[in-house]
Amino acid sequence: MADAPEPVPESITLPVVWVGLDDAPVMFANSLIVQHSAENEFLLSFGQLSPPPLLADTPEARHEQAQQVGYIPIKPVVRLGMNRQRVQELVDALQQNLRTHDARESW
């Protein structure tokens, strides 16, 4: 009589590893907007805002230069689309990291 086949597991667990993280560029972002694109979806847009150089010699002349600027551009760095669950994970991770940072700073 032949042996009965071994049961096939319902799931397989494999490790998850970040690969190439150190190769990704670190981009500076100092501007953020959050939009709702559809039901349960968020768009997070990160950008770089650089003030224009106002190099006149006097405050009055710098003020005049500033009045000539039509707008200050924000250059997009990255746009991320996330569902609500991922946004909550991001919020939780940021809050935990802020607590860790603040605890270290209070030494």
pLDDT of 44 strictly over 80: yes
pLDDT of 77 strictly over 90: yes
Determine contact, residues 40/88, Cβ cutoff 8 Å. Answer: no
pLDDT level of residue 6 (50, 70, 90 thresholds):
confident
Taking the domains of the chain in order of start, what are their residue ranges? 26-105
In 65-92, which positions are buried (b, 16+ CB within 10 angstroms) versus exposed (e)? Answer: eeeeeeeeebeebeeeebeeeebeeeee
Q: So what's the pLDDT on residue 1?
A: 62
Q: Mean pLDDT in the chain?
A: 93
pTM of the model: 0.75
